[in-house]
Amino acid sequence: MILDARRIMADDGRPELILLTVSDRAEAEQARFELEGHREFLEKLIDSVREDSRCSAGI
């Protein structure tokens, strides 16, 4: 959980306000972790395709 606060200034003489937000970072972290796994998989797939095309071309 992340707690964030931001001061909101009032120009018309009203008291200043503080806006508080609470966010759950667990879902975002899980998505980032899964995305990293997909990226690693795709990099390996691309490397293997490149390797196969080199072998087929006799390089």
What Å distances lie between residue 6 and 16, 18, 29, CA to CA? 11, 6, 24
Q: What are phi and psi of 55, to 5 degrees?
A: -65, -40
Domain tally, the chain: 1
Query: If you average pLDDT over every residue of the chain, what do you get?
Result: 89
Domain of 45?
A: 2-57
The predicted-structure confidence for 32-56, as pLDDT tens digits, reads as follows 999 999 999 999 999 999 888 878 7
Percentage, residues of the chain above pLDDT 90:
54
Express as a percent the part of the chain with pLDDT over 70: 97
In the prediction, which pLDDT does 40 show?
97
pLDDT at 59 over 80: no
